Each structure stands twice: as structure tokens, then as C-alpha cells.
């Protein structure tokens, strides 16, 4: 059997991002379950704000194309989504918008998304842990052909939630986030034996 291939990314480029930290835990869970995981930090793939005129005149920017090709090359996604003003970050939305575009007339629409599987998580210093962003991410992904796992986890008071080694202080949260990675790897293995 091939290893499930998972692409992991967070909707924050902040150096000390809680969502990037959270993502690492889920990534470890997926790797322990046998997945080959590629982690993307959007700080390494800066993209302009999507603009159809820019797309028409210059095509897809190189970093957007890189991200889209990475999505195409993986079976599923681990996504950690911060919450800005009760919704998702512009960074995450913009990256997904670029990746949703076809690069030629011959290419099927939404090749980076159709038939993929995703698991979601969020972290915020607030009392809701960013869960409102996940409502938006889930709806958006499902509308573009991604099957999103029912299980998800939102970490409240994220500024107090992590140990120095990057693990979560709450054993229940740590286990739940790891299990997101594991479940995603297992489901991909079943669907792509
Ligand atoms: C926030 N933050 C925030 N948090 C939240 O729980 N609900 C919200 O609606 C918002 N809104 C919001 C708007 C803007 C513009 C900023 C910059 C921040 C706080 C946010 O959760 C916090 O900055 C996190 O640390 C962001 O995630 P990372 O970068 O730590 O992953």
C-alpha cells in the first residue's frame, strides 16, 4: 500500500502562530499513522491578492501555481485556520482562491480540490478557539468538492494552551488533535488502497 500523502498548512504566517503550532501536532499524528506529510508555510509562498485582470494578463503567479500543484499531488489536507473577525483569514482564502483556478481551457475545474479529504482545526486566544472560522472553511471546501471530516478541534485561550515543547497542556486536546491527523491518514488509506 502507498503512504497517504497529506499537505498541511495554516492560515497564518505569524512567526509564533498558534495555528502553526497546532498543525504540527496533527502532522505528527498523521506521520505516526504512516502518512507522508508536506508542510507548507505561506511565508515561503507569498501571493498577490487574487485579481482576475492580473490573472488574465500574467497568468497564475509562480507561488500560487506551486501551492496548487502541491495540492494536486496530495490526497488530503490538514488545515489549521485562525479566526479574524469571526471568519477565515484573507491569507487562507486568497491561497484557496488562487488554487481553485484552472491554468488552461483543457484543465478540469477545481483539480486541486475535487475528491480530496480534509481535517480542520483552529486555535485562538479567545474563548471560542476560532471555531467560527471552521464553519466557513468547511462550507467553502465542501462546496468545491472536498470531503471534510466531521471531527475537528478548536483550542481556546491558545496563548496559555501550549507547553514549551509545543504539545498542548490539555491531554484531551493533544489526543484529539493528533487523532485528526491519524484519522485523515487512515481514511485516505481506505480510499486509496
Ligand atoms: C483577530 N483575532 C480574533 N480571534 C478570535 O477568536 N476571533 C476573532 O474574530 C478575531 N479577530 C481578529 C481579527 C484580526 C484582524 C486579528 C489580527 C486578530 C485574534 C487571533 O485569533 C489571534 O491574533 C491569533 O493569534 C491568530 O492566529 P495565529 O497567527 O496565532 O495562528
User: What pLDDT shows up at residue 2?
Assistant: 78
Q: Which residue in this structure is represented by grid cell 479529504?
A: 117
The Cα 24–Cα 183 span in angstroms is 15
Of ligand 1's atoms, which has the minimum distance to the CA of residue 127?
6
Q: Does residue 182 register a pLDDT over 90? A: yes
Q: Read off the pLDDT of residues 133-177 as tens digits, 9 standing for 90 and up.
A: 999 999 999 999 999 999 999 999 999 999 999 999 999 999 999
The rounded Å distance from CA 169 to ligand 1 centre is: 21
Is the overall model pTM greater than 0.85, yes or no?
Answer: yes
Nearest CA to ligand 1 atom 10: 84
- Say if residues 20 and 168 touch (Cβ distance below 8 Å): no
CA of 84 to the centre of ligand 1 (A): 5
**Mean pLDDT for the stretch of residues 25-38:** 98
Q: Is the CB of 11 under 6 A from ligand 1?
A: no
- Residue 69 confidence class, pLDDT cut points 50, 70, 90: very high
Give distance in angstroms: CA of 150 to centre of ligand 1.
24
Helix (H) or strand (E) holding 143: helix 131-143
DSSP 9-56: EES---TT-HHHHHHHHHHHHHHHTT-EEEEE-GGGS--PPP-HHHHH
With H, G, I as helix, E, B as strand and everything else as coil, classify residue 163. coil
Calculate how far, in angstroms, residue 39's C-alpha sits from the geometric centre of ligand 1: 22
Which run of H or of E encompasses 75? none
Amino acid at each position: 500500500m502507498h503512504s497517504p500523502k497529506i499537505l498541511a498548512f495554516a492560515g497564518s504566517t505569524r512567526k509564533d502562530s498558534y495555528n502553526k503550532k497546532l498543525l504540527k501536532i496533527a502532522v505528527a499524528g498523521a506521520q505516526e499513522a504512516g502518512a507522508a506529510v508536506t508542510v507548507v508555510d505561506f511565508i515561503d509562498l507569498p501571493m498577490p491578492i487574487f485579481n482576475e485582470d492580473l490573472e488574465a494578463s500574467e497568468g497564475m503567479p509562480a507561488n500560487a501555481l506551486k501551492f496548487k500543484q502541491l495540492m494536486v499531488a496530495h490526497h488530503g489536507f490538514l488545515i489549521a485556520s485562525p479566526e479574524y473577525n469571526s471568519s477565515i483569514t484573507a491569507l487562507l482564502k486568497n491561497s484557496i482562491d488562487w488554487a481553485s483556478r484552472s491554468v488552461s481551457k483543457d484543465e478540469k475545474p477545481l483539480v486541486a480540490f475535487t475528491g480530496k479529504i480534509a481535517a480542520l482545526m483552529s486555535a485562538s486566544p479567545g474563548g471560542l478557539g476560532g471555531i467560527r472560522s471552521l464553519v466557513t472553511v468547511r462550507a467553502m471546501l465542501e462546496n468545491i468538492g472536498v470531503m471534510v471530516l466531521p471531527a475537528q478541534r478548536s483550542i481556546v485561550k491558545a496563548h496559555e494552551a501550549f507547553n514549551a515543547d509545543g504539545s498542548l497542556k490539555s491531554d484531551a486536546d493533544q489526543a484529539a488533535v493528533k487523532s485528526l491527523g491519524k484519522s485523515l491518514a487512515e481514511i485516505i488509506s481506505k480510499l486509496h488502497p
